Amino acid sequence: MIRERPSLPPDHPLSRLEGRPFAGGRLRVLPGPTSRFGALYFSLYLEQDGFTSREPILVGLHHSGLYPSYNWIEVAQLNDHPTLEDGASQAVLRPTDLRRLMALLGELIPPGGHLMLEYESPRWAVTARALNRGAPPAATELGELLRAAGCDASIRNWDISEGGREGPRKLQGFKPLDDGRAFAARQSRDRELSAFLLAPKSGAQPDALADARRRARRLLGPSRA
């Protein structure tokens, strides 16, 4: 619950999220401290019908700088079932809400920047299993969220943390610098998805991999899957 909120400078990118319509309510932004690398911790809360969620729907870090690669957001926690402060209501964020939330974050990331989404928590167990079995990142639920943010020009899977310094396992999606790079990225993605679908199946398909195959076919379209 937000009581006394620290304020953001009006020109800070995160201030553009304050009060934005979302999931039948609006977003509230709570800035936090700055990390030793210069990134700002922040939390997003959901306000519905006059009540604010007790816990944040999203916790992350935001960094901006002169060069494209210096501009990024890392999502460290995502809660799609927040409890409102009246204690009797629970909001449910649907997949469309999550895509909308990522699209709002994507608006804050300029071309060449990136968005990182963790998949270590239980919420993303299906994504983790699919990636462990060789599914392309683009064919997972987190890949879909990166696409909603416009950060899927290429997706890097950080599946091994370096002594804990890099944090949990995550997908890192980049926003293309220009239309030419975006087109080349789509071609590369489609080749990866096609190879995934053409790979021989061994035994019964685990649910996570079956879901990834459905997503891959949908991305490629009926004429190419």
Average pLDDT in the 13-22 region?
Answer: 96
- At 132, the amino acid letter reads N
Helix, strand, or coil here: 153?
A: coil
Given a cut of 70, whether residue 192 has pLDDT beyond it is: yes
Cβ–Cβ under 8 Å, residues 212 and 198: no
Helix, strand, or coil here: 209?
A: helix
Beta bridge partners of 28: 45
Q: What is the pLDDT of residues 21-56, one digit of tens each?
A: 999 999 999 999 998 888 999 999 999 888 899 999
pLDDT of residue 37: 86
Question: Distance between alpha carbon 185 and the CA centroid of its chain, in Å?
Answer: 18
CA-to-CA distance for 225 and 30, rounded, in angstroms?
44
- Classified by CATH at the fold level, domain 13-220 comes out as Aminopeptidase (3.40.630)
- DSSP state, 73? E
pTM as predicted: 0.90
